[in-house]
Chain A
């Protein structure tokens, strides 16, 4: 229900000329934006020793906005999951108690949740 409302709001926004322009710009920069997002997550996993819910949910919210605006498919979300799993496994193989492996696993679970909901809606 809430997702429907969000997509309706986005559809209405799309009619606005300025927003339309911005969306067009965002869609053109889709690869850059998504790459930045993934790099940001990678940086959080590998370089930050603590985890912050504020950061996690901000990134996830931005990603959800991207899903609607940039028309990202669930398959892409699962590719991110695969990437996160690869990071987690790579660290886990060398040190099973590493915080980074745990952080990657938490990111993976959260993206998996998004992916499953996304695919259900598709």
Chain B
């Protein structure tokens, strides 16, 4: 009787807890309220049908440029939601159900897992508390805020762990089949976007279960079951696993570069890891306290959990608990990182493993696995404690534990965590009830006929859209227009990729004509404007922080700004939502034939040049900023070249360079026995770096700077040789020690050796650059970058030596001299000759024979004026009067037909104005001041302010050349150049800071670039403090005195000069007539008529080599793969016909652009029908003439021979990876039904 009562309690209590947890979320929201926002949004709860059809079935992104996309892995889950929505109707209820399932299942299956591991009936209490600990543990509570689609792992991990545990205990394969089916429904959790959660949980969990089965249960593992399970899993996940695999292994894709390139592994991975690793505390993890958050005193009571665990180990020895503890410790090491330097170093080295960079945000990615194993271990430990405790204490302890867990979970229970105020908003809640006006606007957007992109205003920074709800809350997340209306929408500045700066600049300059042209080139036809004041005025900062510096400050001004754009209003909904249309003359259709193809040698940042040069809008430019070799198969109507000064330009570019690696963080002292191994690793890395690699200089400097970082961190423990005259001499005598010598005699633990190693790394780098670099201008630029880095290193090293606590003054002087001599040696080697600005040669090399026009930016001409400069070309000097002006250009009447391979184009500046001349010195020091010369003498510390002078006409983002001669008579002075915007809120930016030291007159020259918003610039000379030991280095006593002469600050002219080779003028009558039909976002049928000669076809979607142009009438008979594809296509066609998917595209309307030369058939999207297979195994044409244009789009240069000289034909533009998706999706569905059949079979067999 007692037993029966106990047994009922065992099943009832957890069940009641589970039911309570399920209903908790129903109290979070009012009826009709939803929280839909977040990074990946939860719009699929609101309208799963639209989400499935617009965003989950295709391999092309539904937003912005339409790049390749991984959202198709969500398809089964969204389909599952479609079914649930059909039952529950209300999205609000659906959300609550899902939250409820997550909470209750997470608890229930953790409870069951602990119970199974304990294998004793009286453990329900410990298991229940373990389950509650998993669900409510403070470190994971933040996960409930704006949950991602992959957050289902919170209950899937315990669920699958439990099912696998049951399998290993019973050998009943049905558990494996159920696991496989679950993984299909929740496939987003087994896709690449959930990789960190998968790899942090499943490998360790499965290993745990295998060891548990073999060592503790002493049962056999049935290999054939495991193999079958793996096959079924791979088969059921094929639709995304195999498709993503093709991306992973194709070089050039984003995912490939993240996994395999040095940039992905170290820059994005390791450097991020290194930045957060010092902040993660082992003590917080042990006591289950959230990291990097304010700790309330109440949370500190969680120390009770590790206490119970340790006491349990003292009380009883249990193998299962020991095994759990081992896995708990492994996960603890991974989630903490910062447990001893050795582990941190091993952890860092794991980042060289391809793919490990997914753990860059390691704590968040391991914490769920950690909490799960913590709960398992704690449940077992508590069970031991409960066994030994007296009944009263037992219930007292469990009651206490339940209370503290529940109290810490109050934010979840009360729903505060889901009902948060949106970040940086003025009290706008993240929960909203949908406004019917918005639903009408969304429906209108869905119905818009032109296949074009949309610009959503107000524009945000990161690509979020904000929609106000009726209850005063708001949605903040990815664009609803993209994900629910199926129009590729630009909702944020960041989504414009390379165009984002230009767009803001054009708005800032109020150059709306050029802005509209640019929007047209980006295939934007519609502008959606949400005028609700809540969504803009109540968000003073995020997500508008950056764009608001240029775009209107409030909704009232926004309305005025839109009026100034002169767009055509086509819809207004309740004076809240507006839709505007960009006039056709600006618009470039989604698929188009261009009448002018242009080759341009400059980057996308200079798209302003073609935008202002071409009046019509059906042109396309192939940008070529990285000096890629030109594809000889392509022919362009025009050749556009931006010409720069050959010497000055690389230096200017290099002066703006910043290293991606930052200053190094070091973990090991030179005295450590591990250090010699690090030396070997770094030596190998340096040897494997090639000067041809983009990262060569930055990485080498980074490794050299580690020597300085080591001295900064470990300098006090570093020894001194003490008798080295010069690092160059030490280089001759000091040999790399053997490993044993290095370990036992700490051969690297000397200041001078660190100097020497720095000297060798930098010396070798300069040698290799001089030897291996072909281009002279690159050598100059590289040297300039190195020189700038060395100047910073020099300052750092001098500071470290001076601030060292363990060095005597004499030792400091000795080290200062050594380091100064070393840097002087490099300064001599890196002499970068900055040319004078009064005679610059803008040369254009390798011009082909032809006619040219030369354009100069009108703003430049106006700035320098008639007297400022002269232009000569081919020996003829042109006067400004002879220029003709077109829009924003001055045109030189210049044509050249010679066959010379080099043509000079010279701009000569008569006398660039010295910006120092109109200003005067300010000083409190004893001084002698002239207009461009000054002498200051400083006698005591109190008056060390120095002298300051304003630089006239200081402009933002502009380069200046500063030059002067100086003599400091052995004392150390400093030059600082700083600027500010003149506004009180902005800080001053130091743009140059350098020490000056000399006995003789020295010439100083440097290039500097002003800050983004600066309008005032200052130059400041000041003395280093007397405490500066450097002052004692040579002269010792005496007054500090600096003499300066010939001071000049000159703005570096950067004229935009473009040569335009005029080819055969394209004639509209020669252009073919194109009609395109959109089948779906991955397929377009293009009908071309009236073909007389070669033309360029453009698809205005993100460039991707997998977009192919297929001739449906031509079977590819040369390749076996094409034959197989045709066979699969035929099978597919039969299957689709049998399923009755016969829907054909019905033309509803025909839209005409460019006077009918480009037409669009308006149709509805069709995901699959018999025609889907028309292109399978057919020949793709112009594959090698597929190239990117306009900075993002796809273009094909098609010659008559590509289509056997036909004058009319039909082509299909298709994203070929979509075909893989069809094949593997079919395979996955088959495996799903097969697995289902296996389950039924196993059930009926038992019966």
Contacts and interface: CB of A to CB of B under 8 A. Distances in A.
A115 B313 contact: yes
Given A93-B300, A96-B289, A105-B282, A54 B310 contact: no
A107 to B, nearest CB: 10
Given A92-B283, A102-B281, A109 B329 contact: yes
Interface residues of A, number: 32
A102 B283 contact: yes
A81 B282 contact: no
B310 A106 contact: no
Interface stretch (A3-11, A14-22, A28-36, A82-90): A82-90
B342 A82 contact: no
A43 interface: no
A78 B339 contact: no
A89 B282 CA distance: 12
Contacts of A119: 313, 317, 322
B287 A106 contact: no
Contact of B673 (A54, A92, A108, A109): A54
B322 A56 contact: no
Interface in B317-337: 317, 319, 322, 325-326, 329, 332-333
Interface string A70-100: 0000110011011001001100110010000
- Residue from B314, B326, B333 having most chain A Cβ neighbours under 10 A: B314
- Residue from B282, B326, B329 having most chain A Cβ neighbours under 10 A: B282
B314 A79 contact: yes
Contacts of B673: 54
A89 B317 contact: no
Nearest to A82: B310
B283 A56 contact: no
B340 interface: yes
B340 A53 contact: yes
A96 B333 CA distance: 20
Interface in B1000-1016: none
B1062 interface: no
A102 B291 CA distance: 13
Contact of A109 (B286, B295, B326, B341): B286
Contact of A85 (B303, B332, B341, B672): B303
Nearest to B283: A105
A25 interface: no
Nearest to A85: B306
A104 B283 contact: yes
A115 B282 CA distance: 18
B326 A96 contact: no
Contacts of A93: 300
B286 A108 contact: yes
A24 interface: no
A87 to B, nearest CB: 11
B311 interface: yes
Contact of A88 (B283, B329, B342): B283
B882 to A, nearest CB: 72
Interface in A18-62: 51, 53-54, 56-57
Nearest to A111: B310
B287 A78 contact: no
B326 A116 contact: yes
B282 A78 contact: no
Contacts of A53: 340-342, 672, 674
B325 A116 contact: yes
Contacts of A74: 313, 317
A89 B310 CA distance: 14
B300 A85 contact: no
Contacts of B317: 74, 119, 122
B340 A56 contact: yes
Contacts of A112: 310, 325, 329
Contacts of B282: 102, 105-106, 109
Given A53-B672, A109-B332, A120 B322 contact: yes
Nearest to B297: A93
A62 to B, nearest CB: 16
Contacts of A13: none
A25 B283 CA distance: 38
A119 B310 CA distance: 12
A106 B284 CA distance: 11
A109 B339 contact: yes
Interface string B178-202: 0000000000000000000000000
A69 B314 CA distance: 21
Nearest to A122: B317
Contact of A82 (B286, B307, B325): B307
Contacts of A105: 281-283, 286
A113 interface: yes
Contact of A101 (B283, B326, B333): B283
A75 B672 CA distance: 33
A89 B5 CA distance: 40
A19 to B, nearest CB: 26
A78 B286 contact: no
A27 to B, nearest CB: 23
A89 B673 CA distance: 33
B300 A78 contact: no
Contacts of A106: 282, 339-340
Contacts of B300: 89, 92-93, 96
Interface string B232-260: 00000000000000000000000000000
A82 B672 contact: no
B370 to A, nearest CB: 13
Interface in B271-313: 281-284, 286-287, 289, 295, 300, 303, 306-307, 310-311, 313
B313 A96 contact: no
Contacts of A110: 339-340
Contacts of B319: 120
Interface string B647-678: 00000000000000000000000001110000
B294 to A, nearest CB: 10
Nearest to B314: A78
Contacts of A113: 329
A115 B281 CA distance: 22
A89 B304 CA distance: 10
Nearest to A90: B303
A6 B1016 CA distance: 73
Nearest to B668: A53
A109 B325 CA distance: 11
A115 B311 CA distance: 12
A58 to B, nearest CB: 11
Contacts of B672: 53-54
Contacts of B340: 51, 53, 56-57, 106, 110
A107 B306 CA distance: 14
Interface in B323-369: 325-326, 329, 332-333, 339-342
Contacts of A85: 286, 303, 306-307, 310
Contacts of B295: 96
A96 B284 CA distance: 8
A56 B343 CA distance: 13
A89 B314 CA distance: 19
A116 B329 CA distance: 10
A122 B286 CA distance: 25
Contacts of A104: 283
Contacts of A56: 340
Given A101-B283, A113-B329, 8 more contacts: A78-B313, A79-B314, A82-B310, A85-B306, A89-B287, A92-B300, A109-B282, A119-B313
18 contacts: A53-B672, A78-B314, A81-B313, A82-B310, A85-B303, A88-B283, A89-B300, A96-B283, A96-B289, A96-B295, A102-B281, A106-B282, A106-B340, A109-B282, A109-B286, A110-B339, A116-B326, A120-B326
Interface of B: 281-284, 286-287, 289, 295, 300, 303, 306-307, 310-311, 313-314, 317, 319, 322, 325-326, 329, 332-333, 339-342, 672-674
Closest 9 CB pairs of A and B: A105-B283, A105-B282, A89-B303, A78-B313, A78-B314, A116-B325, A96-B295, A53-B341, A101-B283
